[in-house]
């Protein structure tokens, strides 16, 4: 697993530092400064490569390390002068080829620093202990077209308004622009002045830019090696950014860092615990068979990470299982709904009516679907419908059809009884008149026409079949 490291610091005279000495140490070189002091680090081990990259307008003699940094110390000679900027980066240990390491550092240096006007002196250190890294020394001043050093970050210049015009200094007493008389130059008008930034190298936000650029440069290479990418952000920032991404996806407002820290303290969000820097002394103790407190703390942190990751994996497996169960439930529901619709279609008949045959006669016209449950028990019928698991609409339709079936059955029975009674009483056909009938209507609006008994012939039976007599 590749590890990200990119630190930025300034080397200055206020810390009793020397640009010449720093360059000699990082390149394992021997350099003499302007006053004859010699910095000799030729016997330093682990320095496998060094290179100087010059910006545009830089004199060719600056390709000599000693000449470059002696010139820097000559121009910045105050006791509090900033001499150079150092960037230290960890090279992913998976990149083992030396030429690939050189190309990696060279690309990063040229694209981010040399192209912006800085001169770079960089070296690769590797003691074959799994910690290859590079030191990059950068100049703090730009170089003018004539090869001279420019001023540093700012210079005095005229303050301009939104239209680009100089802003006059107004005398509050007169309301007029202030003037001054200079011997030999006459009267001069006064204009407001301000510090004008020459280059943005000292801006704090550049640290973020350079750190991200190093991560991107490394990832462009390790992504082809099936290795997890590195990230320039801390674990806290990664968790914070991911939280806001999730909230935005849900249409919710983002949280501030202060609010996020409160969520972290309450346990609502988890953040990977970072390890601490062990350092040379701690690793030396471990190498000699001892136990370093710093190394031991890191081992505990890594162990805790493993436990947390296992818990996350279990939670993920459970969530995946729940999703699969939910999908299965939806599938079963869809199948049941389809079966219920098909069963309802069968119950409602082929066209728009139902023909039911029972022990007492025929009711309705068309179709040949039978709904008779045999026993005619309403409570039993409702229980059967309830156990079938059908929807409320289907249940209601089936109850209605069954009720109509019972009423038709009872109606047919009453007609047969009345016919039998009239035949037994010997009622003559002329007493009621041929073709006369009695019309009844039940509670549901079903009209029943009972023709004269003497007319009960084949024509009457056929009219019942055709639904003329109901």
For residues 10 and 84, give the distance between their C-alpha atoms in angstroms, rounded to a whole number. Answer: 6
Give the whole-number percent of the chain exceeding pLDDT 70: 74
Burial readout 271-305 (b: 16 or more C-beta within 10 A, e: otherwise): beeebeebeeebeebeeeeeebebbeebeeeeeee
Give the whole-number percent of the chain exceeding pLDDT 90: 33
Residue recorded with tokens 């202030």: 178
Residue 277: pLDDT band (50, 70, 90) is confident
| Res 117 pLDDT > 70 | yes
| Res 430 pLDDT > 50 | no
The answer to pTM > 0.75 is: no
Query: What is the pLDDT, as a whole number, of residue 64?
Result: 96
Mean pLDDT, rounded, for 197-210: 88
Q: How many Cβ atoms are within 10 Å of 114's Cβ, its own excluded?
A: 18
Residue recorded with tokens 């049941």: 336
Q: Strand pairing of 437-441 and 82-90?
A: unpaired
The region of weakest confidence among 5-9, 133-137, 181-185 is 181-185
45-60 residue pLDDT tens: 999 999 999 999 999 9
For residues 230 and 234, give the distance between their C-alpha atoms in angstroms, rounded to a whole number. Answer: 11
Report helix angle 65-75 to 19-27, nearest 10: 160
**Between 259 and 91, where is the model more confident?**
91
| Res 443 pLDDT > 60 | no
For residues 136 and 113, give the distance between their C-alpha atoms in angstroms, rounded to a whole number. Answer: 10
| Res 309 pLDDT > 60 | yes
Can you tell me whether residue 369 is helix, strand or coil? coil
Which residues partner with 412 through β-bridges? Answer: none
Tell me what the pLDDT averaged over the chain comes to: 79
Query: What is the pLDDT, as a whole number, of residue 247?
Result: 84
Can you tell me whether residue 168 is helix, strand or coil? strand
**Between 194 and 449, where is the model more confident?**
194
Question: Domains in the chain, ordered, with CATH?
Answer: 1-147+202-232 (3.30.930.30), 154-197 (no CATH), 356-466 (no CATH)
**Between 272 and 179, where is the model more confident?**
179
Mean pLDDT, rounded, for 379-383: 55
The region of weakest confidence among 227-241, 376-390, 392-406 is 376-390
């Amino acid at each position: 697993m590749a590890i990200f490291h990119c630190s930025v610091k300034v080397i200055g005279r206020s810390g009793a530092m020397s640009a010449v000495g720093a360059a000699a140490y990082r390149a394992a070189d021997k350099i003499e400064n302007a006053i004859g002091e010699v910095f000799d680090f030729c016997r330093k081990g682990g320095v496998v490569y060094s290179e100087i990259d010059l910006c545009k307008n830089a004199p060719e003699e600056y390709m000599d390390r000693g000449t470059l940094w002696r010139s820097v110390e000559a121009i910045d000679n105050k006791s509090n002068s900033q001499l150079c900027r150092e960037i230290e980066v960890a090279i992913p240990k998976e990149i083992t080829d030396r030429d690939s390491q050189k190309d990696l550092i060279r690309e990063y240096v040229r694209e981010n620093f040399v192209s912006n006007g800085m001169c770079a002196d960089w070296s690769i250190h590797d003691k074959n202990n799994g910690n290859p890294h590079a030191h990059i020394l950068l100049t703090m001043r730009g170089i003018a077209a004539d090869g001279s050093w420019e001023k540093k970050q700012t210079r005095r210049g005229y303050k301009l308004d939104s239209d680009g015009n100089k802003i006059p200094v107004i005398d509050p007493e007169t309301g007029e622009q202030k003037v001054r008389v200079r011997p030999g130059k006459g009267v001069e008008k006064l204009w407001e002045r301000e510090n004008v930034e020459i280059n943005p190298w000292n801006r704090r936000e550049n640290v973020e830019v350079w750190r991200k650029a190093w991560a991107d440069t490394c990832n462009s290479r390790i992504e082809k090696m099936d290795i997890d990418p590195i990230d320039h952000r801390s674990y806290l920032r990664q968790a914070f950014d991911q939280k806001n991404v999730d909230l935005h996806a849900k249409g919710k407002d983002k949280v501030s860092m202060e609010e996020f820290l409160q969520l972290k303290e309450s346990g609502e969000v988890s953040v990977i615990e970072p390890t601490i820097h062990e350092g040379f002394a701690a690793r030396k103790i471990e190498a000699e068979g001892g136990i370093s407190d710093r190394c031991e703390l890191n081992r505990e942190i890594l162990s805790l990470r493993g436990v947390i990751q296992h818990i996350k994996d279990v939670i993920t497996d459970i969530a995946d299982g729940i999703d699969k169960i939910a999908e299965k439930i939806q599938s079963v529901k869809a199948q049941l709904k389809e079966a219920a619709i098909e069963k309802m279609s069968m119950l409602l008949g082929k066209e728009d009516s139902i023909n039911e045959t029972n022990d007492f006669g025929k009711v309705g016209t068309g179709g040949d679907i039978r709904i008779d449950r045999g026993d005619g028990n309403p409570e039993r019928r409702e229980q059967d419908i309830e156990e079938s698991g059908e929807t409320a609409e289907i249940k209601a339709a089936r109850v209605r059809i069954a009720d109509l079936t019972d009423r038709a059955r009872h109606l047919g029975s009453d007609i047969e009884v009345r016919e039998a009674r009239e035949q037994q009483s010997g009622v003559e056909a002329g007493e009621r008149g041929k073709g006369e009938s009695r019309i009844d209507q039940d509670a549901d609006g079903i009209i029943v026409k009972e023709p004269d008994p003497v007319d009960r012939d084949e024509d009457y039976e056929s009219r019942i079949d055709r639904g003329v007599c109901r």
